[in-house]
C-alpha cells in the first residue's frame, strides 16, 4: 500500500490484548486508545498525548505508526517492542501486552 493510499483509505484492524478477553477493532485513522475507549475497553492512560508514558505496553505482533515521535517513547523503548497507544495508529492487526490488564 502506498503512503498516499494509506492516508486516504480507511482500513479496519483487530487488536487483541494478551491474557484477556479483550478484542476490538480500530481504524487506520484512529489511535488504539481512542478505539478502545469508544468500545468500552479501559486501557490505562493519562495525558492522551504521548507525554506521560502511562499507556505504554508491548507490541507482541503488528505495527504501530506515529504522526510524530512521541516524547515518552525513547528509541530504546521502541527497539524493545514498546508502544504508546494514545498516539499510535495501527498499520496491521495487533497483539498487545499491557501489564495492568494482561497480568
Ligand atoms: S497516555 Fe500519556 S503517553 Fe499515552
User: Domain 3-102, CATH 3.10.20.30 — does that match?
Assistant: yes
Mention every residue, 6+ apart, whose C-beta is less than 8 A from residue 12.
25, 26, 27, 28
pLDDT in tens, the chain (103 residues): 445 554 568 999 999 999 999 999 999 999 999 999 999 999 999 999 999 999 999 999 999 999 999 999 999 999 999 999 999 999 999 999 999 998 7
The residues facing 94 across adjacent strands are 15
Mention every residue, 6+ apart, whose C-beta is less than 8 A from residue 37.
43
Q: How many angstroms does the Cα of residue 55 sit away from the middle of ligand 1?
A: 5
pLDDT on residue 102: 80
Domain ranges of the chain: 3-102
Ligand 1 atom closest to Cα of residue 72: 3
Q: How many angstroms does the Cα of residue 4 sit away from the middle of ligand 1?
A: 28
Kindly report the pTM of this predicted structure: 0.90
Q: By the 8 A CB rule, do 34 and 15 touch?
A: no
The DSSP H or E segment spanning 37 is helix 32-38
Q: What is the pLDDT of residues 56-70, one digit of tens each?
A: 999 999 999 999 999
Amino acid at each position: 500500500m502506498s503512503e498516499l493510499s494509506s492516508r486516504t483509505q480507511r482500513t479496519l484492524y483487530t487488536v487483541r490484548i494478551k491474557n484477556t478477553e479483550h478484542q476490538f477493532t480500530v481504524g487506520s485513522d484512529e489511535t488504539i486508545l481512542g478505539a478502545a475507549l469508544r468500545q468500552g475497553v479501559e486501557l490505562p492512560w493519562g495525558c492522551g498525548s504521548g507525554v506521560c508514558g502511562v499507556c505504554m505496553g508491548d507490541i507482541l505482533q503488528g505495527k504501530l505508526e506515529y504522526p510524530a515521535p512521541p516524547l515518552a517513547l525513547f528509541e530504546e523503548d521502541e527497539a524493545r517492542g514498546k508502544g504508546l497507544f494514545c498516539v499510535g495508529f495501527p498499520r496491521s492487526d495487533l497483539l498487545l501486552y499491557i501489564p495492568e490488564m494482561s497480568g
